[in-house]
Amino acid sequence: MDYKKAGVDIEAGYRSVELMKEHVRRTVRPEVLAGIGGFSGAFSMESFKNMEKPTLVSGTDGVGTKLKLAFLLDRHDTVGIDCVAMCVNDIACAGGEPLFFLDYIACGRNYPEKIAAIVSGVAEGCVQAGAALIGGETAEHPGLMPEDEYDLAGFAVGIVDEKDLITGKELREGDVLLGIASSGLHSNGFSLVRKVFPMEREALDTYYEELGTTLGEALLTPTKIYVKALRSIKEAGVRVKACSHITGGGFYENVPRMLPKGVRAVIKKNSYQVPAIFRMLAQQGGIAEEMMYNTYNMGIGMVVAVNPEDVTAAERAIEAAGETVYQIGGIERGEKGVVLC
């Protein structure tokens, strides 16, 4: 008896590391002090010592049951983007710049090419966010997980000068809410998605004119990363007064998180076009509109609040970063919460 016969292939682990190295190299920043394969990642803080009060911000998350789509479609090179996005978007939401990222892959069996494909997506997400992939772990769990399945989670660290933290404390009546478009469902609500749509290859490979792609491709579209858009707003000299990343819990759970007491967010549902994938999901699943807005981003992945006089500059900055932006509402006096009208 040996470890391989027990279900853990150490040699496959070595091959996975070699295959992923080319992807990791794409993410290297000047501050990275150690290469992949060490016991820990090292990252210099030298370039941030001139900040008045350098403050670390962090985020951790996973991809969730969206991975079931990746298994069914045998497509593993995009879920890593989702994993990075869910972490770095939270950091950007606080005004931070993502610095580095670490991933954790737990699998039933280590297939080196599959692991490398997953990491290629993680690396692409890091490139989009400007973060370095400085480490991670691939754990083989025979007997605990099916051989052809895996779980993926990650952890990111960013930095912001304390004076630039986005806290929502400055939010006032009359401030304007801008919504930055999502790329689709992102990585939330897939337990419900999998109850509505048939999780069969034939159904997922069906092309829909209204989607402009197959159902599977629409569902697997990776989460949008908003780091560049938030950075662009800051570089334009605009102060983001409050920010909400629309993830699990949709509008009703996430928008109130950016609000201080005494004000409410009023969002106009007709201020933008809800993407077809959400309309199809609601129709085929018989899902009430309130539940849709309480579960999904409905086409808006990030909400930012700015002064009325900063709206034009903020919109231009977001568009310059390659994103689509809408004026979706404003801030009013009232009980803390969100009103969709």
In which residue ranges of the chain is pLDDT below 70?
1-14, 35-38
Convert the pLDDT of each residue in 266-313 to its tens digit.
999 999 999 999 999 999 999 999 999 999 999 999 999 999 999 999
Residue 17: CA atoms inside 13 Å, Cβ hemisphere, count? 15
Tens-place pLDDT, residues 210-222:
999 999 999 999 9
Structure tokens at 305: 């609040």
Write down the pLDDT at residue 23.
Answer: 83
| Domains of the chain, CATH where assigned | 10-164 (3.30.1330.10), 176-340 (3.90.650.10)
- Residue 5's pLDDT is 47
C-alpha angle 179/289/282, rounded to 5°? 100
pLDDT at 9: 58
Predicted confidence at residue 266, as pLDDT, reads 98
State residue 165's pLDDT score: 96
Surface-to-core class of residue 30, CB atoms within 10 Å of its CB (0-12 exposed, 13-18 middle, 19+ buried): exposed
pLDDT at 278: 97
Q: How far apart are CA 184 and CA 164, in angstroms?
A: 30
Predicted TM-score of the model (pTM):
0.94
pLDDT at 1: 59
Helix (H) / strand (E) containing 185: none
pLDDT 10s digits, 162-194: 999 999 999 999 999 999 999 999 999 999 999
Please name the helix (run of DSSP H) or strand (run of DSSP E) that holds residue 59, with its range, or none.
Answer: strand 54-62
Measure Cα distances from 290 to 24, 248, 252, 340, 341 in Å: 42, 14, 9, 9, 11
